[in-house]
């Protein structure tokens, strides 16, 4: 397994590996896990994963997440979230997967089954590097705050990805600054898709601070961009990375069909 960092902030390309082999190789699994913590997001090319292998690979790292709202592959593979071209319109907001959950996923593994001829890239950014870049005064202001995350704006009535808009929505509160349990880095844990407000602040104060943080976290100096082709895999650490897809392929030949498995944090 060879690892090649792509930027100074986040992301590495991993070669000379087939992820399906990790299911029977604990040392390889540990090496992938360590690389993920070090680089935030890993990119693999030319993978050949069945759906069972995709789920089994995710299960090596913890309990596999079943999304409470989004479209999955049904009874045979409820753990796999299906993401197709017709679900994406324009730029999908920067986000961390399912932060509205009390126990959100720690990692996500996205596999490209079909891709357009060009376009449809995914951007990733390091919310850990973004925290590190703040002044000590700003860090002191943020460290003890807590933020409210909700599914409603995306999956509730009027939400852009509502499957059953009348289903009960989920709201939870997380520290605005989280400490990564493995590498100890502090991370700005707010995202424009699911974070609604900051506890204890007036609405206008909360909105101003959140909008500043969202702009700061997603600054280009904290980013990496990945171009897909069939068989590509991106595996990212939701504890320290945000992502967004660029939906610039509506008139491009071919369709974008992706499948995602996510892994939950260990129970408290």
164 is catalytic: no
Whether the Cβ atoms of residue 65 and residue 98 lie closer than 8 Å to each other:
yes
The one catalytic residue among 149, 186, 256, 260:
260
Residue tagged active-site, from 65, 97, 185, 186: 97
| Catalytic residue list contains 260 | yes
CA dist., res. 178 & res. 130, Å (int): 13
**What are 117's two structure tokens?**
């001829």
Our answer to whether residue 71 is catalytic in this structure is no
Q: List the helix and strand counts (H, then E) for the chain.
A: 6, 15
User: Choosing from 54, 65, 243, 256, which is the catalytic residue?
Assistant: 243
Q: Which of 45, 51, 77, 95 is an active site residue? A: 95
Cα dist from 52 to 42, 76, 114, 154, 208, whole Å: 21, 9, 18, 29, 45
Q: Is residue 95 annotated as a catalytic residue, yes or no?
A: yes
* Cα dist from 105 to 56, 121, 241, 261, whole Å: 16, 22, 12, 10
Contacts of 107 (CB under 8 A, 6+ apart): 36, 58, 61, 235, 236, 237, 238, 239, 262, 263
Catalytic residues: 95, 97, 243, 260
């Amino acid at each position: 397994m060879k690892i090649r960092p792509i930027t100074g902030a986040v992301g590495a390309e991993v070669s000379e590996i087939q992820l399906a082999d990790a299911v029977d190789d604990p040392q390889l699994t540990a090496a992938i896990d360590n690389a993920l913590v070090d680089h935030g997001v890993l990119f693999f090319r030319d993978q050949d994963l069945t759906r069972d292998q995709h789920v089994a690979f995710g299960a090596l790292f913890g309990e596999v997440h079943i999304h409470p709202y989004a479209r999955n592959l049904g009874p045979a593979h409820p753990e796999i979230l299906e993401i197709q071209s017709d679900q994406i319109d324009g730029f999908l907001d920067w986000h961390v997967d399912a932060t509205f959950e009390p126990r959100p996923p720690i990692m996500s593994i996205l596999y490209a089954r079909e891709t357009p001829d060009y376009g449809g890239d995914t951007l990733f950014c390091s919310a850990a590097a973004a925290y590190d870049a703040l002044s000590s005064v700003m860090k002191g202001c943020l460290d003890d705050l807590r933020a409210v995350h909700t599914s409603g704006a995306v999956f509730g009535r009027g939400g852009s990805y509502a499957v059953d808009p009348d289903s009960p929505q989920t709201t939870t509160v997380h520290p605005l600054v989280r400490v990564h349990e493995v590498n100890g880095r502090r991370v700005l844990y707010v995202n424009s898709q699911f974070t609604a407000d900051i506890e204890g602040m007036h609405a206008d104060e909360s909105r101003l601070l959140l909008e500043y943080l969202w702009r700061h976290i997603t600054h280009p100096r904290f980013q990496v961009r990945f171009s897909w082709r069939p068989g590509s895999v991106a595996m990212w650490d939701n504890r320290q990375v945000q992502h967004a897809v660029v939906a610039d392929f509506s008139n491009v030949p071919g369709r974008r069909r992706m499948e995602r498995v996510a892994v939950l944090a260990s129970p408290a």
